[in-house]
Structure 1
Amino acid sequence: MKPCILLDQAVEAFLKDITSNIKNTLQSNYTGTYLHGSVTLGGFNPNRSDIDILVVTKSEIPIASQLRLARFFLQCSKNPYPIEISFLAESQLSPWFHPTPYEFHYSEAWREIYLKEMETGRYKHINEKIKNDPDLAAHITNLNYSGTNFDGPPIHEIFPQVPKKDYLATLLLDFKDCLTNMEQDPVYTVLNTIRVYKYVKDGEIISKKDAGQYGEKHLPYLYNPTIKKVVNAYSKNTNETFSTQELSVFKAFIHSKIEEVLP
């Protein structure tokens, strides 16, 4: 095992338990477990961040095993850390295809869906014949950039290099969603739009923590009060209020900046 050197003991123990359960479920179908996102970029906030995981399998995952995985993640996610995890078969990684097919996914956004399906016994999402996720282009790019193999073969032996056009397309979809949802979740969306801007401008992948620091230092002072509140809410868990006007002004600004630097 090659644990990520950025993990504290509690996070590493949590991940070891998850990996052990996954291996017990998949048995000989298991290839490896890989970490990406804030936990490897250095911006992990135990009060706000998901733990982002990719698991690779040798072949398709039987429905019975997917149900077992769903029940497990319903139990362990947010206990104490929320999990976002995708399982991909080796054949789904080569040849590369975008949006990328996958075998199984769990995140807190799916909790209510899985709970309802467990109650009714109608496993619509698990039984879907076609599963693909454009976000996997971003996850795998981030994995190649700063991720680690928590358990399994080295990243370069398993994962392809994602074409930049696919990664950028995924970022811009997320950017569009952030603009739409900024009033509902200003902390996540402001930081994420700055991350997208930083990548499009400089080709650099940064954490939400670094995005806040970059915004405070490099964006016009007019937007500093909004960014400071976002940073405080994210890093210090303070309760901040944001007016519709300030978010609208920031939204217009960051949209115009992206337009300026897009190829």
Structure 2
Amino acid sequence: MAVTARAHHRVVGYARQVATVLRTLSGTDLVGLYLHGSAVLGGFSPAHSDVDLLAVVARPAGEAGQYRTGTAVGRTIDRCPGRGLELTVVTAATARSLGACPFEVRVAGSPDGSPHVIPGTGHPGDPDLVLHAEVCRRYGLAVAGPPPDRIFAPVPAGRLREAICRQLEWALVQGAQGPAVLNACRALRFLAEGSLCAKVEAGRWYLSKSPHHPLVAEALVLHQSGDRRELSGAGARFVAEARDLLLAADG
């Protein structure tokens, strides 16, 4: 798949280290490990992008096993070649049918900070898995295991719209100008073409339709420079309009 060629070789190398840790912990229980996000969609920046991984295991573990997995993976974060690591572990059953989006464990953190381990036991689920799983299915790079389209079932378009709308709602509450506006561009491209893409690519797509659009042009500059300034009034209106179009499509 051409899109996986975008994955930075250091990111792939680090992901293979994580796969080794998971295999050591769970033996043959690891079904696959998949790289998603900007590393495969394009626009990955070591200074500003996370390394996004989704691991699939054959069966659930108890809370102690979840902590053990999260702690072991957390020890690798100092080698992460991006801004931070975002790993979610799910079962094969969840990959086939997301349901309430349960997960085994989530691990997040930056190379200069302590990892944050969230066990899935007792957790209501992670709705972001809807988009993560679909990006993995379409574009993910199998670091370990079979191709992702053999592991992840397609997510219905209506559920994808709901997930993207929820992402835009979050941006309206606490988003920064660059990512929020580019997420709105990503939503508009999904509505127009059904495709899922990186934020930078979405902004460029929007400018190809509306050249010299000042808000989107500014958002690209802010995002690529890592500037996290607050969402402006014009930015909030742009994001809200994209959200309303998604809601209208669902209606």
TM range (shorter): 0.7 to 0.9
Query: What are the Cα deviations for residues 127-180 of structure 1, in whole angstroms up to 9, with x where unaligned?
Result: 633442222111111112211211102223222111222222111111221222
> Are 1:32 and 2:21 an aligned pair?
no
2:86 to 80, 84, 87: 84
Report the equivalent of 1:72.
72
Q: 1:246 to 1:26 in 2, by over 3 A?
A: same
What is the alpha-carbon distance in structure 2 between the residues aligned to residue 196 and residue 67 of structure 1?
Answer: 35
Query: For 1:60, what is the secondary structure of its paired residue?
Result: coil
What is the alpha-carbon distance in structure 2 between the residues aligned to residue 131 and residue 252 of structure 1?
Answer: 27
Q: How does 1:242-257 map to 2 (within 5 A)?
A: 244-251=232-239, 253-255=241-243
Report the equivalent of 2:152.
159
Q: Is the 8 A contact 2:177 2:228 kept in 1?
A: no
Question: TM-score under structure 1 normalisation?
Answer: 0.79
Q: 1:238 to 1:92 in 2, by over 3 A?
A: closer
How much does 1:87 deviate? 0.9
Report the equivalent of 1:190.
181
What is the alpha-carbon distance in structure 2 between the residues aligned to residue 233 and residue 33 of structure 1?
Answer: 32
Structure 1: which 5+ residue stretches go unaligned? 116-124
- What is the identity, as a one-letter code, of the residue corresponding to 1:86? T
Query: What are the Cα deviations for residues 207-241 of structure 1, in whole angstroms up to 9, with x where unaligned?
Result: 111112123232375xx222222212223x26586
1:200 to 162, 166, 191: 191
What is the alpha-carbon distance in structure 2 between the residues aligned to residue 251 and residue 154 of structure 1?
Answer: 34
Query: What are the Cα deviations for residues 18-75 of structure 1, in whole angstroms up to 9, with x where unaligned?
Result: 1111111122321111122211112222221222211111111243332233223444
Question: TM-score under structure 2 normalisation?
Answer: 0.83
Q: 1:128 to 1:63 in 2, by over 3 A?
A: closer
Q: 1:156 to 1:225 in 2, by over 3 A?
A: closer
What is the alpha-carbon distance in structure 2 between the residues aligned to residue 129 and residue 249 of structure 1?
Answer: 37
Identity within the alignment, %: 20
> Are 1:142 and 2:135 an aligned pair?
yes
Q: Is the 8 A contact 1:137 1:170 kept in 2?
A: yes
Q: 1:258 to 1:21 in 2, by over 3 A?
A: same
How much does 1:248 deviate? 4.0
Larger radius of gyration: 1
Q: 1:108 to 1:67 in 2, by over 3 A?
A: same
Number of residue pairs matched by the alignment: 244
Structure 2: which 5+ residue stretches go unaligned? none
- What is the identity, as a one-letter code, of the residue corresponding to 1:143? C
Q: Is the 8 A contact 2:55 2:90 kept in 1?
A: yes
Q: Is the 8 A contact 2:59 2:91 kept in 1?
A: yes
Report the equivalent of 1:19.
19
